[in-house]
Amino acid sequence: MSRSFSLCGVLSALVLGLGLLPAGGSSAKAGEPAQCIHYQYVTVCKYVTCYETRVEPYTKLVTWYDSCGCAHTTTQTCYHEVQVPVTKKVCTTEKVAMY
């Protein structure tokens, strides 16, 4: 099936079938051909900013005590979630009138 649609035949039949249009109802004058409108589907790409959640590692100092009560300081790797802006390309199909 074709992805284009034509109103040319419909408009021509309407003008020929009615003969005279009521006064003020149309901007086309007698003897002029009806304007044909074709619709075509066009792929349009846009850039959209969205946010993704990522897990980032970080280190911190932790003090712990052994069984004798002595303090020991070590580094511990922890993780936290951050939201990062990401630009993505999104393509959509739009119907455009072609005159």
Average pLDDT value for residue range 64-89: 94
The residue behind tokens 């990522």 is 54
The encoded tokens of residue 2 equal 């074709």
Asked whether the beta carbons of 39 and 3 are under 8 A apart, the reply is: no
What letter would DSSP give residue 28?
P
Q: How far apart are CA 40 and CA 97, in angstroms?
A: 6
CA Rg, the chain, in Å? 34
Tell me the pTM: 0.39
User: For 11-57, how does the pLDDT look when each residue is reduced to its tens digit (9 = 90+)?
Assistant: 444 444 444 445 444 555 666 666 778 889 999 999 999 999 999 99
| H and E: helices and strands count for the chain | 1, 3
